[in-house]
Amino acid sequence: MDNGKRRRVRIEQGGKRIRTYLGGELVADTTRPLLVWEKPYYPVYYFPESDVHLDLLTPTGETRRSPSRGDATLYTVATAASKAEGAAYRHLDSPVEELRDHVAFSWDAMGSWFEEDEEVYVHARDPHTRVDVLPSSRHVEVVIDGVKVADSRSGRFLYETGLPARYYLPKTDVRMDLLEPTNLHTQCPYKGVASYYDVVIGEERHENAVWWYPFPAKESSDIAGLVSFYNEKVDIYIDGELETRPKTIFS
């Protein structure tokens, strides 16, 4: 794995059992996945071809170019109940030798994914990402348009690799009369499914500025029922000190 062409592609050998299904039918099942960082934020699972039901794959005749991994041949995945056009891909002539006998799948095109026997959502989990939820008595105040919307000394501070700290606060410490639920829901592979609130102050509406996890994933269970505000969009004071708004994709 140590050649000049390889250095642009981060690859690690995984040990978890990884499965993916389409239309309820098993398409790939391995205990030897490669974790390939096609993007810097999280890996993609690559399955050894011997652990893939190749009979369910049909070439589309199309390819997709990657400067680091080479051309990918695209395949349609078809089971008895479902079909996903171009959902699988193989780098058969990749400059990265380890990839040549592996198959990857577009996450959203497949029906479901499992690590061991736990279903995983959104994308593959990064083994180097941690989520720590810690109780804190530090004084947290949230101010929007000059109005104090939250005031708490009973928060849970969530630290997730690569993201700013998030402050989850009891609803009893939040001006819930200023919050209106929205129809937005997002998923996180580490925290679960989030629901959102707008903050309405006078005639100003701050859309989806607040979120919470009614039923978070096990590793994040301590934030169940608590609400958090986007640090990027509101003023947050910690022990009286105004925090600098972080610059992230949510800014």
What are the tokens at 157? 């501070």
Are 138 and 228 in a shared domain? Answer: yes
Are 84 and 140 in a shared domain? Answer: no
Are 105 and 185 in a shared domain? Answer: no
CA separation (Å) from 218 to 120, 131, 134, 212, 224? 12, 11, 15, 15, 10
Report the number of distinct structural domains present in the chain: 2
Domain holding 44: CATH number? 2.170.150.40
Distance CA 29, CA 34 (A): 12
* Residue 247 counted as domain residue: no
Are 75 and 97 in a shared domain? Answer: yes
Domain end (from 120, 148, 176): 120
Are 158 and 97 in a shared domain? Answer: no
Distance CA 67, CA 63 (A): 13
Distance CA 74, CA 62 (A): 6
* Residues ≥6 apart with Cβ < 8 Å to 240: 139
Are 141 and 65 in a shared domain? Answer: no
Distance CA 247, CA 162 (A): 12
One digit per residue, pLDDT tens: the chain, 251 residues? Answer: 444 444 579 999 999 999 999 999 999 999 999 999 998 889 999 999 999 999 999 999 999 999 999 999 999 999 999 999 999 999 999 999 999 999 999 999 999 999 999 999 999 999 999 999 999 999 999 999 999 999 999 999 999 998 999 999 999 999 999 999 999 999 999 999 999 999 999 999 999 999 999 999 988 999 999 999 999 999 999 999 999 999 888 87
pLDDT for 2 equals 40
Are 152 and 107 in a shared domain? Answer: no
Are 73 and 177 in a shared domain? Answer: no
Are 8 and 113 in a shared domain? Answer: yes
* Residue 213 counted as domain residue: yes
Domain end (from 120, 149, 184): 120
Contact present, 181 and 211 (Cβ < 8 Å): no
Range of the domain at 28: 4-120
Are 36 and 74 in a shared domain? Answer: yes
What are the tokens at 240? 């009286």
Contact present, 11 and 34 (Cβ < 8 Å): yes
Domain end (from 100, 120, 140): 120
Distance CA 44, CA 106 (A): 9
